[in-house]
Amino acid sequence: MTTDGNKKPTSRASKFIKDIGVYAIGNIGSKIITFLMVPLYTHFIAPDDFGYYDLCFTVCMLLIPFVTLQLRDGAFRFLLDCDDDTQRQRIVTFVSRTMLTTITVSVLVAIAMSLVTSVQYLGYVLGLLIAMSLQEVYSQVFRGLGNNRAFVTVGILSALGIGAFSVLFVVKMGMGIRGIFLANIVARVLALVLVEAKVRLITRHTRWHINSRELRRDILRYTLPLLPGSLCWWLTGSSDRLFITHYLGLDINGVYAVAIRFTGIINTLAIIFYQAWQETAILQYNSPDRDRFFSKMFNSYIFLLAIIFVGYVFLLKVNYGWLVDEQYGESLNFIYPLALSSVIFALAAFFDMGYQCAKDTKRTLPAIVLAAAVNVALNFALIKPLGVYGVIVTLLVTNLVLVFYRWHDMKRYFILSIYKKTAIPVAVMLLCAIPFYHSQPMIVDIAVAVLAIALLMLLCRDELRGLLPSKLAKRQG
């Protein structure tokens, strides 16, 4: 139990659910809008153009950690521990100075590249990289300063802006792929500017004259070990686009990108849990019943993921015909295994919390290096004989390797107990592949999803109740 001034005590579970609610508003609201953009893009953008945009977006994801020096993680982690306003000013000032420097370097590098080589839409790619980097870092600064509302608002405004500007630039003005780039750049920057103009957190906490030398050493000691890991993460989760583009072509990458966008909804739901769990885990890491509490959350998380997985893949299947243009229809076949891969990755992310709680980020590297090596080796070996399915098998195997390695490595931080009932959601997720690929009538798919979810909720009430606040759990019981 925790207390806050004169407020009544609240349970850890209650706080966790409250955090989930906050992050859900921001993530689900923004991702629904992003989700709705997929049908728009597939109707107005050719597969090869969408494949090129996805490739550029993937490269930006690779470069963001180097432009930001992983300050999105460092700023949040150090601000969360900080209870002194002067120290907060040092942290935010250091972040702003560093971002100004790295963005300047990025612009100079892009200018140099334009002089020696020709990269299509280089200016747009640079703008997207800068906009994404700023949003990544300062959203986490808002969150670290305790203003979750600002964090959520940035996400929602950004997504609304991407939707509105996509309609303007892609549909109304017919700008094609340039319209997608421009919509993402303008929306992300505008969202940050509007929120900062309202809350003035960055302005209030930035003091350009303040000395942050000692703090800089501590933060960089935390964040720099994450850079090699971020490269390996990219190899593990995004290099598949490069393999597909090189061996199969931009049009196939465009089809694959649509499937990835759809399964990204599961990643979004996992991120909501992760963000809420991140704060709860750090605050409860030194509690005497840590292992029992962490075990309960982990097992409950598996049940929750299974329900989300089953409901989502079948709901998507029965609606896929009108969601995407027929030239992207093949992507439906990729949905089930990619969604399963997302579930496995979400479990691996749960174990990542041990490194953050202990501020032992350098130990993240061995697992990620191993996963990246497995990923690259299997992509080379499987993409030619199996095509896109070779990439999908690679993702599944890579994420499984990551889960088992981290499960073993986490024993130095906390011990998890796996309940016997946890075999139920695992079995349900695997067995649902049969009706997904072999049933045709819509009513059969709907019936399978309803029965599977009802079975999970009936047999696993106690585990699911672990994710409810105490008062609501008693009411459900």
DSSP labels, 254-271: HHHHHHHHHHHHHHHHHH
Residue 210's H or E segment, with its range, is none
Last residue of a domain, one of 223, 246, 272: 223
Q: Is residue 31 part of a domain?
A: no
pLDDT at 232 over 60: yes
User: What CA–CA distance (Å, rounded) separates 186 from 158?
Assistant: 9
Q: Is residue 454 part of a domain?
A: yes
Q: Is residue 249 part of a domain?
A: yes
User: What CA–CA distance (Å, rounded) separates 320 from 31?
Assistant: 17
- Is the domain of 243 the same as that of 182? no
Q: Quick one: pLDDT at residue 400?
A: 92
Q: Quick one: pLDDT at residue 181?
A: 93
Name residues whose C-beta falls within 8 Å of residue 234's C-beta, 6 or more positions apart in sequence: 58, 61, 62
Give 172: exposed, middle or buried? Use CB within 10 Å, 0-12, 13-18, 19+. Answer: exposed
- Is the domain of 204 the same as that of 254? no
pLDDT digit string, tens, across residues 287-336? 888 888 888 888 888 988 999 999 989 998 888 877 777 777 888 899 99
Are the CB atoms for 125 and 57 separated by under 8 Å?
no
Q: What torsion, rounded to 10 degrees, do the Cα atoms 337, 339, 344, 349 define?
A: 150
Last residue of a domain, one of 223, 252, 282: 223
pLDDT at 223 over 90: no
Name residues whose C-beta falls within 8 Å of residue 84's C-beta, 6 or more positions apart in sequence: none
Name residues whose C-beta falls within 8 Å of residue 411's C-beta, 6 or more positions apart in sequence: none
Encoded amino acid at 186, one letter? V
pLDDT digit string, tens, across residues 432-457? 999 999 887 889 999 999 999 998 88
pLDDT at 378 over 80: yes
User: What CA–CA distance (Å, rounded) separates 407 from 412?
Assistant: 10
- Is the domain of 201 the same as that of 237? no
Q: Is residue 270 part of a domain?
A: yes
Last residue of a domain, one of 223, 257, 290: 223
- Is the domain of 202 the same as that of 318? no
Q: Is residue 170 part of a domain?
A: yes
Question: Per the structure block, which two tokens stand in for 342?
Answer: 């997302």
Q: Which of 379, 378, 354 is nearest to 364 (CA)?
A: 354
Q: Is residue 66 part of a domain?
A: no
Q: Quick one: pLDDT at residue 99?
A: 93
pLDDT at 168 over 80: yes
- Is the domain of 214 the same as that of 250? no
- Is the domain of 213 the same as that of 256? no
Encoded amino acid at 398, one letter? T
CA distances from 368 to 14, 93, 159, 222, 433 (A): 33, 31, 30, 17, 29
Name residues whose C-beta falls within 8 Å of residue 132's C-beta, 6 or more positions apart in sequence: 60, 61, 64, 184, 188
pLDDT, averaged across the chain: 82
Name the pLDDT band for 474 (thresholds 50, 70, 90).
very low
User: What CA–CA distance (Å, rounded) separates 8 from 46?
Assistant: 57
Give 357: exposed, middle or buried? Use CB within 10 Å, 0-12, 13-18, 19+. Answer: buried
- Is the domain of 277 the same as that of 303? yes
- Is the domain of 294 the same as that of 379? yes
Q: Is residue 234 part of a domain?
A: yes
- Is the domain of 182 the same as that of 253? no
- Is the domain of 182 the same as that of 294? no
Question: pTM value?
Answer: 0.67
- Is the domain of 208 the same as that of 263? no
Instruction: Determine the average pLDDT of the residues in 112-122.
Output: 87
Name the pLDDT band for 102 (thresholds 50, 70, 90).
very high
For the chain, what is the domain count? Answer: 2
Q: Quick one: pLDDT at residue 126?
A: 95
What's the domain range around 259? 225-470
pLDDT-wise least confident of 39-53, 92-106, 126-140: 39-53
Encoded amino acid at 456, one letter? L
User: How would you label 213-236 residue by residue, b for 16+ Cβ within 10 Å and e otherwise?
Assistant: eebeeebbebbebbebbbbbbbbb
Encoded amino acid at 228, one letter? P
pLDDT at 50 over 70: yes
Q: Is residue 357 part of a domain?
A: yes
User: What CA–CA distance (Å, rounded) separates 377 from 54?
Assistant: 23
- Is the domain of 201 the same as that of 234? no
